[in-house]
């Protein structure tokens, strides 16, 4: 039990650290391949990218030596489900409420990540966690494909446009 709580906390902290590090590195060196893995502007779609790549990396890093299929599946459910939650919350904040705040975006990401990992921690010993690995992996591959596709070829829809308090600025100039 002690190891599983430490594992859950470690995965959470690793995800936050990897996500923050990727975001900071992209701010220093924009226009690189790193743009496939981190938000390149402040659109709802791009902001939700932070839910997939850092979480997958953290889960895989923590499960290299563990080799527990149920636990791996449960924790991979977080990056499979979190983009949907972030898309909805970020869309609601930007499009409905008109709130564009980088600090709020980060707080929402960390809170939803914590809820996701706590849920995964509770689900890791269930029968569902042992049978859903294939489905979760397929969903992760679909997310990876869709994020890559729409990063390289964005669509002109509100979900893909930077929104909020600064609509006249270029995406790179947005302060939020």
The residue range of the domain holding 59 is 2-173
Contacts of 13 (CB under 8 A, 6+ apart): none
For the record, the structure tokens of 38 come out as 């981190």
Query: What are the structure tokens assigned to 82, written together?
Result: 């979190």
Residues near 34 by beta carbon (within 8 Å), at least 6 away in sequence: 22, 25, 26
At 169, the pLDDT band (50, 70, 90 cuts) reads very low
H/E stretch holding 51: none
Number of domains in the chain: 1
Q: Rounded mean pLDDT of the chain?
A: 82
**pLDDT surpassing 70 at residue 78:** yes
Q: Is a pLDDT exceeding 80 seen at residue 165?
A: no
Q: Tell me the average pLDDT across 95-114.
A: 87
d(CA 142, CA 161): 22
- 120 vs 68, higher pLDDT: 120
Non-local (6+) Cβ contacts of 85 within 8 A are 51, 112, 116
Mean pLDDT of the region 143-161: 84
Report the alpha-carbon angle 136-51-94, nearest 5.
Answer: 130
The closest of 109, 111, 124, 131 to 3, measured between CA atoms, is 124
pLDDT tens, residue by residue, 17-74: 998 898 888 888 887 788 888 888 777 888 888 889 999 999 988 887 667 777 888 8
Q: What is the dihedral of CA 131, 10, 147, 99, to 10 degrees?
A: 120
Between residues 46 and 166, the one the model is more confident about: 46
State the Cα–Cα distance between residues 4 and 87, nearest whole angstrom: 29
């Amino acid at each position: 039990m002690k190891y599983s709580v430490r594992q859950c906390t470690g995965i959470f902290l690793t995800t936050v650290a990897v996500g923050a590090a990727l975001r900071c590195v992209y701010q220093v060196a924009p226009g690189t391949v790193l743009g496939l893995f981190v938000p390149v502007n402040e659109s709802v779609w791009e902001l939700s990218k932070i839910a997939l790549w850092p979480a997958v990396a953290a889960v895989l890093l923590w499960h290299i030596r563990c080799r527990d299929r149920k636990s791996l599946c449960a924790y991979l459910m977080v990056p499979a489900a979190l983009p949907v939650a972030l898309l909805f919350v970020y869309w609601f904040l930007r499009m409905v409420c008109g709130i564009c705040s980088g600090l709020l975006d980060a707080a929402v990401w960390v809170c939803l990540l914590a809820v996701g990992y706590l849920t995964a921690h509770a689900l890791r010993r269930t029968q569902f966690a042992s049978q859903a690995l294939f489905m979760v992996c397929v969903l992760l591959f679909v997310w990876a494909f869709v994020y890559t596709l729409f990063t390289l070829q964005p669509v002109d829809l509100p979900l893909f446009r930077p929104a909020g308090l600064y609509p006249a600025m270029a995406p790179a100039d947005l302060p939020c």
